[in-house]
Every structure is written in structure tokens, then in C-alpha cells.
Structure 1
Amino acid sequence: MDIASEVIESMLVKFKSERKWTLQVIEQLSEEDITWSPNSESNSIANLVAHIRGCAHSRIETILFNIPDIRDREKEFEHGLIMTKEQAYNKTKEAFDIIIQYLEHLNTNPKLLLSQPFLNLPPLTYSQVNNETTALNLMIAMVREIHYHTGQIIYVAKIRKGQLVWQYD
């Protein structure tokens, strides 16, 4: 296996694990837990889920499915954002499914890691990468971004619930 395939496989393992743990957390929460935030300056799980879904849309769904970027990033962080537990679960699953699908696409042709998927698209908004970024740089940024926010989700859930139950399989 070459280094490109190894990198892609490592990212697939990482995102599949993040999806599993994040969905397990959301399953253990109440509707109130989803929208609760520690203080007025902190994000709720609803905010974090909306943001993860927004990132998957603007950074991957736009290139994988040629869907225009319709993201409203400010709305993702509105204090008091309402989202049901079912919506939080579904949006989380959708976001991870999009990310994993893109990695599986890259896995079929690892040379795409050095491609510039945004080069001929409108200027990126709300992104830590620019239109000249490579697919590799995009996915490295996504690993950092998604892991950061799933960690926040788990932390907020632990504040609300104390002990969380984990299914290891």
C-alpha cells in the first residue's frame, strides 16, 4: 500500500470512529440536553452539530455532488438554536456519511489527494482553506475541525449527564 492510500485509510478509520462515538453520545441525551449551553458565550450541542453539518456541506458536499454552497454559518452559532434530538442525530450522521463517502471516493484514486477540487469553484466562504488547497490539505483540516467539535459535544454531554455509556464493538 502506498502512502496516499495509507493516509486515506487512516482518515477513514478516524472519521468512522468519531461518527460512532458522537452518535452514541447523542442517543443518550434528552431534547433539552441538545439545546443547552454552559453559558451565553458557549455553544450548545445543537450549534456544534449544525456547524459540523455546515462544514461537511461547504467543504465536501459542494465538490462531491456539485451542490452550490448555501451555508449560513452565522445561523449555526445562534444562541438558542432549536434542534430536536432526532435532528441532531440525523445531521451528525449525514455529515459523517458525506465525509466518509468523499474519503472512499479518494480511496478509489489516491492520486486525487493532490488534486485541487475547489480550483474552478466560486471563492470559498467560512473556510480555513482556500480555492487552491489540495484534497489532502482539505481532509487534514477536516480531521482537526471535526475532532475539535466532537470533543466539545462529548464534553457538554458529560456536563449534562455525568457518566456516559460507551458501546465498544
Structure 2
Amino acid sequence: MDVATELVDSMLTKFKSERKWTLQAIAQLSDEDIIWSPNADSNSIANLVAHIRGCVHSRIETIFYNIPDTRNRDDEFERGLAMSAEDAFSVTKKAFDIILEFLEHLRAKPELVMSQPFLNRPPLTYSQVNNETTTLNLMIAMIREIHYHTGQIIYAAKIRKGQLEWQYD
């Protein structure tokens, strides 16, 4: 197995785990839990879910699937963002499905791992990567970003519910 395939396999394992635990946490929450935030300056789970979906849209869908960029990042952090628990689950699942689908594509075409998909695109905004970044760097940044926010989601869920129930399979 080559290094690119090994890296992609590691990313697939990481994102599958993040997906599993985040969806399990969200599945235990009410609509009220989804929109709750600890204080006026903190994000709700709805904000975090919207932000994860926005990141996936702008960093994967627009670049690799040529879907027009419709993201409004400021809306993701709007205080009082309305979202049901069912919608939070669905949006989170969709975001992870897109990530996993893309990683499966990279697994089939490991030569793309070192490609520079942003070179001929407008300058990136709201991103810790620049237009010369590689797909590998982009996905490493996504691991950090998604893990950071899924941790916040799980922590907020624990604050709201106390002990969460986990399915270990």
C-alpha cells in the first residue's frame, strides 16, 4: 500500500468515527437542546452543524464537484439560528456523507492527494489554507476543523443531557 492510500484510509477511519459519535449525540437531543447556547457569545449546536456543513460545501463541493458556492458564513453563526433536532441530524449526516464520498474518491485516485485544486480559483476566504494548498493539506485542515466542532457538539450535548448513551459496535 502506498503512502497516499494509507493517509486516505487513516482519514476515512477518523471521519467515520467522528460521524458515528456526533450523530449518536445529536440523536439524543431535543429541538430545544439544538438551539441552546451556554451564553450570548457562544455557538449553539445548530450554529456548529451549520458551520460544519458550510465548510464541507465550500471546501469540497465547490472545488471538487463544481457546485456553485452559496455559502454565507455569517449566517452560520447567527444567534438564535433555528434548526430542529431532526434537521441537525440530517445536515450533519449529509456533511459527513460528502466527506466520506470524497475520501473514497481519493482512495480510488491516490494521485489526487498531492494535487492543487485551488490554483485556478478565486482567492480563498475564511480559510486557513491558501490557493497553493494540496488536497492533502485541505483534508488535514478539515480533520482539525471538523474534530474541533464535533467536540463542541458532544460537549454541549453532555451539558444538556448529562450522561449520553453510546452504542459501541
After TM superposition, the score normalised by the length of structure 2 is: 0.98
Distance 1:86 1:120 in 2: 38
Unaligned runs of 5+ in 2: none
* 1:74-124 CA-partner distances (Å, limit 9, x unpaired): 010011100011110111011101111111111111111110111122222
1:64 positional shift: 2.4
Counterparts of 2:125 and 2:85, CA distance in 1: 28
Cα distance in structure 1, aligned partners of 2:49 and 2:17: 16
Q: Any idea what SS the aligned residue of 2:4 has?
A: helix
Equivalent position of 2:75 in the other structure = 75
Q: Which residue of 2 aligns with 1:145?
A: 145
The letter for the 2-side match of 1:82 is A
The equivalent of 1:136 in structure 2 is 136
Output one character per residue of 1:139-159: Cα deviation in whole Å (capped at 9) or x when no partner.
000000000000000000000
Distance 1:64 1:22 in 2: 25
The 1-side partners of 2:129 and 2:12 are apart by 20
Tell me the distance in 1 between the aligned counterparts of 2:127 and 2:68.
Answer: 15
The equivalent of 2:14 in structure 1 is: 14
After the TM superposition, which of the residue ranges 57-66 and 116-125 deviates more from structure 2?
116-125
Aligned to 2:50: 50
Name the amino acid aligned to 1:18. E
Structure 2 distance, partners of 1:117, 1:102, is: 13
Residues paired across the two proteins, number: 169
SS in 1 for 2:61: helix
Give the alignment's TM-score, normalised by structure 1: 0.98
Deviations 1:116-138 (A, max 9, x none): 11112222221111111100000
Gaps in structure 1 of 5+ consecutive residues = none
* Greater CA drift, 139-148 or 65-74: 65-74
Task: Name which of structure 1's ranges 55-64 and 124-133 shifts more when overlaid on structure 2.
Answer: 124-133
The AA in structure 2 aligned to 1:60 is: I
What residue number does 1:98 align with?
98
CA distance in 2, matches of 1:133, 1:105: 19
**Structure 1 segments of 4 or more deviating over 6 A?**
none
Partners of 2:64 and 2:94 lie apart in 1 by 14
Question: Following the alignment from structure 1 to structure 2, what is the Cα–Cα distance between the partners of residues 66 and 42?
Answer: 33
Percent identity reads 75
Task: Write the distance in 2 (CA, Å) between the matches of 1:148 and 1:2.
Answer: 29
